[in-house]
């Protein structure tokens, strides 16, 4: 009998479930600074980690593994936040399992597919990882994430990002890049999403251009907020306190405490059966 692979994850706190989905080639560690603020605000924080998952070949594989994880945890409804590739996974979740998701936050991400240049760049990275050893490819990925902002970022952040990229399993990285090349265009999905949403981007993000923030916010029917922060692609690491405040504020609006009167609609109150 075929046994389904188990998705590694971390689980913190109690309350309505919030799933934070990391970017490629990073790990769940990118959310470390958001754990305590969300947990202290009364949320259960679940962090799936795909960095060692070699079995995932499509974006749908990633989203299905999250649903299976939550099923094992006995969680029906949840809110979610996706950064970068995590945003593509979140789009897929919203398309395939809309009844499961109470609210969605998109960080440093976009609904469109790669253009020709981006497609070629990912293909070159896959070739380097496959044929030429992975040291140069990992360095290229790190340089893409920093986009020339190394002098403006603290040393501990640079060290942390390099460690995440270096520790990402090679086959999992190759399959993740392939999944991103072949991902669908989710632009038409935006107007159909009737759940509360939020969009956040970085003014200096060279991977996901900040103009996508306004484009997405304009198409999402129930967008509760759209912001461009003074950072690059790595907002959860570059501006952890500012991003944490925005996430706590958003999730509180869709899952208010008993005496909180800021609920958008009654159906948003029960995120998860936990």
Q: Which tens digit of pLDDT belongs to each residue from 213-248?
A: 999 999 999 999 999 999 999 999 999 999 999 999
CA distance 24 to 51: 8
Q: Virtual CA dihedral for 217, 218, 224, 227, nearest 10 degrees?
A: 40
pLDDT at 118 over 60: yes
Task: Kindly report, residue by residue over 52-62, the tens digit of the pLDDT.
Answer: 999 999 999 99
Q: 165-169, 181-185, 246-250, 260-264: which range is least confident on average?
A: 260-264
Contact residues for 46 (Cβ-Cβ < 8 A; gap 6+) = 9, 10, 11, 12, 17, 18, 19, 20, 69, 70, 73, 75, 78
For CA atoms 163, 164, 169, 174, give the dihedral sign.
negative
CA distance 224 to 249: 10
CA distance 144 to 136: 12
| Superfamily (CATH H level) for 9-112+185-268 | Alpha/Beta hydrolase fold, catalytic domain (3.40.50.1820)
Q: Quick one: pLDDT at residue 4?
A: 57
Name the pTM for this structure: 0.91
Q: Where are the domains of the chain?
A: 9-112+185-268
Q: Tokens for 186?
A: 């989710």
Q: Using DSSP, state whether 10 is helix, strand or coil.
A: strand
pLDDT at 177 over 60: yes
What confidence category does residue 115 fall into, taking pLDDT thresholds of 50, 70 and 90?
confident
In the numeric block, the tokens 């979740």 are attached to 93
Task: Kindly report, residue by residue over 8-41, the tens digit of the pLDDT.
Answer: 999 999 999 999 999 999 999 999 999 999 999 9
Q: Using DSSP, state whether 267 is helix, strand or coil.
A: helix
- In this structure, are residues 88 and 109 in contact, taking their beta carbons and an 8 Å threshold? yes
Contact residues for 140 (Cβ-Cβ < 8 A; gap 6+) = 125, 128
What confidence category does residue 261 fall into, taking pLDDT thresholds of 50, 70 and 90?
very low
């Amino acid at each position: 009998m075929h046994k389904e692979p188990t998705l590694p994850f971390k689980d913190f706190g109690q309350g309505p479930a919030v799933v934070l989905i990391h970017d490629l080639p990073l790990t769940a560690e990118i959310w470390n600074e958001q754990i305590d603020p969300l947990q202290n605000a009364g949320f259960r924080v679940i962090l799936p980690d795909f960095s060692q998952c070699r079995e995932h070949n499509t974006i749908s594989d990633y989203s299905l593994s999250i649903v299976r994880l939550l099923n094992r945890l006995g969680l029906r409804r949840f809110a979610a936040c996706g950064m970068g590739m995590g945003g593509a996974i979140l789009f897929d979740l919203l398309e395939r399992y809309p009844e499961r998701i109470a609210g969605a936050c998109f960080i440093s991400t976009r609904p469109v597919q790669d253009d020709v240049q981006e497609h070629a760049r990912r293909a070159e990275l896959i070739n380097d990882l496959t044929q030429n050893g992975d040291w140069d490819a990992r360095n290229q990925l790190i340089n893409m994430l920093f986009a020339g902002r190394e002098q403006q970022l603290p040393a501990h952040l640079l060290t942390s990002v390099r460690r995440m990229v270096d520790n990402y399993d090679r086959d999992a990285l190759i399959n993740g890049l392939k999944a991103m090349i072949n991902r669908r265009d989710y632009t038409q999905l935006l107007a159909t999403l009737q759940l509360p949403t939020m969009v956040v981007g970085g003014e200096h993000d060279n991977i996901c251009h900040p103009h996508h923030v306004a484009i997405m916010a304009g198409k999402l029917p129930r967008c509760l907020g759209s912001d461009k922060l003074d950072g690059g692609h790595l907002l959860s690491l570059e501006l952890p306190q500012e991003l944490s405040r925005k996430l706590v504020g958003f999730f509180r609006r869709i899952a208010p405490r008993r005496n909180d009167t800021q609920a958008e609609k009654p159906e948003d109150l029960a995120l998860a059966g936990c």
